[in-house]
Amino acid sequence: MKTTTMTRVTSLIGGALLGLTTLQASAASEMPPIPDVKGDVVKADGDFKIKFSIGTTQSGAQYRGLEYFEKIVEKRSDGHIQVELFPGAQLGDDLQAVSALQSGTLEMTAPSTSPLVSMFPKFALFDLPFLFPTPEVADEVLDGEIGQQMLKDASTNGLVAIGWAENGYRQLTNSQHPVSSPEDLDGLKIRTMQNPIHLDIWRTLGANPTPMSFAELFTALEQGVVDGQENPWITIQSSKFNEVQDYATETNHVYTPFITLVSERFWNKLPADYQQLLREAAKQMGDYERHVSRTMNDQIKQELADSGMQITELTPEQMKTFQDTVAPVYDDWRDKIGGELIDKVRAVSQ
């Protein structure tokens, strides 16, 4: 992660004149192009329709990944599987989409793991602060034994988990003032995901956290119900949070993955060859989406600064203060998540 010798404030008032839609349009246009479809046509019986719902918007990396998934599945099934995409929580937020899969009224979704911790406690691993120092460590965990076992463990309760993608490294934003130390968080109302560790993190840092669905977040920020929130740069831009948040701090405090889920009722209707096709497409989608997310990360951070957001980059000393301040969160959660699992991830980054 890039660090600087002293706190550096980045903002160009001129950039504020750059319309937001132009901003999103330029970002979308510079995303790595959707790759060609690899793999032969799969011949199997039946015609199927997949409604695929996500909470992030059409201009984010996640939607770009879904467009690749749609292309692969429709081409390799020779049109016998049709995919329809529903971004922006049109069909409900993460938890509503998951329960729709369980009841069989929706075929696919890809939520963040954080809102699902009450259903799958091991997912809390991803909510531990500063546990994934680099995207490479995240890949090794997601694509390795730990991540693949988690997909197997999460294939229950009416769900089939078939792959990983990336929401990304989370950054703090707020509407009140620059934040470069935990003290600056005193009294700030920060929205968190519906997740007990995130509440613990921001409470431990001295803020006043409140859990809320992603689908309600923009309005809550706009109306001042909360002062701030935290999400990856690409989600901050694709959700227009910089329209209602003047300040950001590059904290990289948590790495959040997306998990690709299929309704078990739908899955059991599919011939085995089509099940395998969806697994392969989910893998290719996840790899491409992570590539898009990482390619766009720094560029979008700069675009947000150009649009007038005041971004604070922490010095190594300031970052260490945040890390030391939240360290007690590990004591609270080590046993619940499993010390062995946490040590395994730590070993990956050694």
Binding site for ligand KDG (CB under 6 A): 54-56, 94, 111-112, 167, 193, 214, 231, 235, 256
- The token duo for 206 is 């001295």
Nearest-approach distance from CB 229 to ligand KDG, in angstroms: 7
Nearest-approach distance from CB 268 to ligand KDG, in angstroms: 25
Nearest-approach distance from CB 15 to ligand KDG, in angstroms: 25
Q: How many Cβ atoms sit within 10 Å of the Cβ of residue 29?
A: 7
Separation CA 262–CA 230 (nearest Å): 28
Nearest-approach distance from CB 197 to ligand KDG, in angstroms: 13
**Beta carbon nearer to ligand KDG, 11 or 238:** 238
Separation CA 254–CA 236 (nearest Å): 15
Nearest-approach distance from CB 231 to ligand KDG, in angstroms: 5
**Beta carbon nearer to ligand KDG, 114 or 312:** 114
Which among 289, 294, 236, 291 is positioned nearest to 52, based on CA atoms? 289
**Beta carbon nearer to ligand KDG, 63 or 68:** 63
Separation CA 233–CA 300 (nearest Å): 6
8 Å CB contact between 258 and 111: yes
Runs of H (alpha helix) within 115-271: 135-143, 145-153, 196-204, 217-222, 233-238, 264-267
Nearest-approach distance from CB 87 to ligand KDG, in angstroms: 9
Full strand arrangement of the beta sheet holding 310-313: 8-10, 310-313, 247-250, 171-174, 228-231, 189-192, 208-211
- The token duo for 4 is 């600087």
Nearest-approach distance from CB 252 to ligand KDG, in angstroms: 14
Separation CA 60–CA 237 (nearest Å): 8
Residue with nearest beta carbon to ligand KDG: 55
Burial group, residue 146, by CB count within 10 angstroms (0-12, 13-18, 19+) = middle
Full DSSP string of 65-86: HHHHHHHHHHHHTTTSEEEEEE
